[in-house]
Structure 1
Amino acid sequence: MKYSMMTVGPVQENTYILYNEKKEALIIDPGAEGKRINKKIEALELKPLAILLTHAHFDHIGAVDDVREKWGIPVYIHENEESWLQDIKRNGSSFFHQHIQAKPAEKIIRKEEKLVIGGFSIDVFETPGHSPGSVSYYFRGENIVFSGDALFSGSIGRTDLYGGSQRILLESIHSRLMTLPEETVVASGHGPVTTIGDEMDSNPFLTGF
């Protein structure tokens, strides 16, 4: 599996396009600039299968409908944020004086599970705290986890938005992410990629937990 990271929108959100040797693709968190994302998919000559959302904050969903409608693919989201795609208060866009919505998701994640989509096998971890329905997608064979806004390089997600809790977030990180192999790559919703081992050693929010 390979992936391409695109930094999009005014708050520099990371959208990920994952693809395998069959050219099957998954899109994680298409946050903005839908036309640019679709052009990248076309340039790579990929066949998208699904959109996976780590959570439903506005900066992660702004291009969902553009990408979904272009390729005719389903959207996956956790049940705790199923309604947030249409709710501008809960998805945070009204807080930033924007009006960002997306149509309802086709696939609802109700528990931690293994998803098999085409040639991809994905472990879904519930990692709430940044928001109630935050999830991380772990690709065990490739040793990479897409953590959304739970864990960043040298930081953790903010918890001052609707439904956030720093206590719950820290518990999620330690029980679901810090238990992964230290060499696991962490591809976050903002900023550079990191590894579990680097965050264990130097993340100031985690070392004293």
Structure 2
Amino acid sequence: MKFERFVVGMLESNSYIIYDEHTLDTFVIDPGDESQTLFKYIEKNALRVKAIILTHYHYDHIGAVDDIKKKYNCPVYIHKKDALGLKTPEINHSIGGYRKPVAITADKLVSDGDQIQAGEVILEVIHTPGHTHGSMCLKVKNENIIFTGDTIFDDDLGRTDLEDGSEDEMKRSIVNKIAKWADDIVIYPGHADHATMAYVRKKNIEFLSMLK
């Protein structure tokens, strides 16, 4: 497996292109903007886009979805509890969008524990509500890598004061799931840099506060 991070849009969201280096079957996670940048990498490496996967529905993570879906005719995956927000522009644009909102209908709705496969790369869905009701993380099977969207970052947590946010849900996600991840797990969030869970346990004050 190989993957590349792209920092896109005014809010500098992380978009990830993940692929099986043998079959070139590819996932695009959270294509937030700048579709031409993503197209350039995909075409340069002759990748075959099999799916777009969204960790949640907020506008800064979905801006290039429509372009990619049209170009590669690939399905869009999202957690079932975020499906409504994805196809309701006034909701997914409510946190201050910088481009015209577009209604997007997901093709595949997933739940906790589901697996999504492209080539030999398998992503396991971990439902982590809090930032939105349907926020999810994606663990690479047989790897110590988890893509966390806006649930948890290297030094803080995702906001819970936006549409569909819940501090109570975030606390349950942290205590019941994320706190159980091993120190050598590396998180790749929706903004900012990656970090090990060992680093998170030392530096992430919001994470530590939730545990108390």
TM-score by length of 1: 0.94
The residue aligned with 2:204 is 203
Structure 1 residue 150: Cα displacement? 0.2
Amino acid at match of 2:6: M
1:100 corresponding residue in structure 2: 101
The residue aligned with 1:64 is 65
Q: 1:88 offset after TM fit, Å? A: 2.2
Extract unaligned runs of 5+ from structure 1: none
Alpha-carbon contact 1:64-1:102 (below 8 Å) kept: no
| Residue 188, structure 1, aligned to residue 189, structure 2 | yes
Q: Judge which range, 135-144 or 101-110, deviates more.
A: 101-110
1:121 and 1:145 map into 2 onto residues whose CA distance is 12
Whether the aligned pair in 2 keeps the contact of 1:65 and 1:102 (CA below 8 Å) is: no
For the residues of structure 2 that align with 1:49 and 1:144, how far apart are their CA atoms?
A: 20
Residue 102 of structure 1 deviates from its aligned partner by 4.0
How far does residue 29 in structure 1 lie from its aligned partner after superposition?
Answer: 0.3
Q: How far off is 1:19 after superposition?
A: 1.2
Report what 2:19 is aligned to.
19
Q: How far apart, CA to CA, are the structure 1 residues paired with 2:74 and 2:172? A: 33
Q: Note the 1:1-209 alignment, pairs <5 A.
A: 1-22=1-22, 23-91=24-92, 93-96=93-96, 98-208=99-209, 209=211
The answer (yes or no) to whether the contact 1:177–1:196 under 8 Å persists in 2 is: no
How far apart, in 2, do the equivalents of 1:137 and 1:153 lie?
16
Gaps of 5+ in 2: none
Q: CA deviation at 1:39?
A: 1.1
Matched position secondary structure for 2:202: helix
Query: SS at the partner of 1:26?
Result: strand
TM-score (norm 2): 0.92
Change (3 A) 1:6 1:184: same
Equivalent-residue separation in structure 2 for 1:174 and 1:42 (angstroms): 41
Deviation of 1:170 after TM superposition, in Å, equals: 2.4
Question: Does the aligned pair in 2 maintain the 1:124–1:138 contact within 8 Å?
Answer: yes
Asked if the contact 1:14–1:189 (Cα under 8 Å) also holds between the matched residues in 2, the reply is: yes
Determine the C-alpha separation between the residues in 2 that align with 1:41 and 1:86: 26
Displacement of 1:71 in angstroms is 1.0
Structure 1's 140 and 182: CA in aligned 2 closer, same or farther, altered over 3 A?
farther
- Quote the offset at 1:84 in angstroms: 1.6
Identity of matched residues, %: 35
Q: Secondary structure at the match of 2:124?
A: strand
2 CA distance for matches of 1:82 and 1:118? Answer: 26
Work out the CA distance in 2 between the residues paired with 1:132 and 1:90.
13
How many residues of Structure 1 are paired with residues of Structure 2 in the alignment?
208
CA RMSD of aligned residues (A): 1.5
1:19–1:204 CA distance, 2 compared to 1 (3 A): same
Residues 19 and 118, structure 2, Cα contact 8 Å, conserved in 1: no
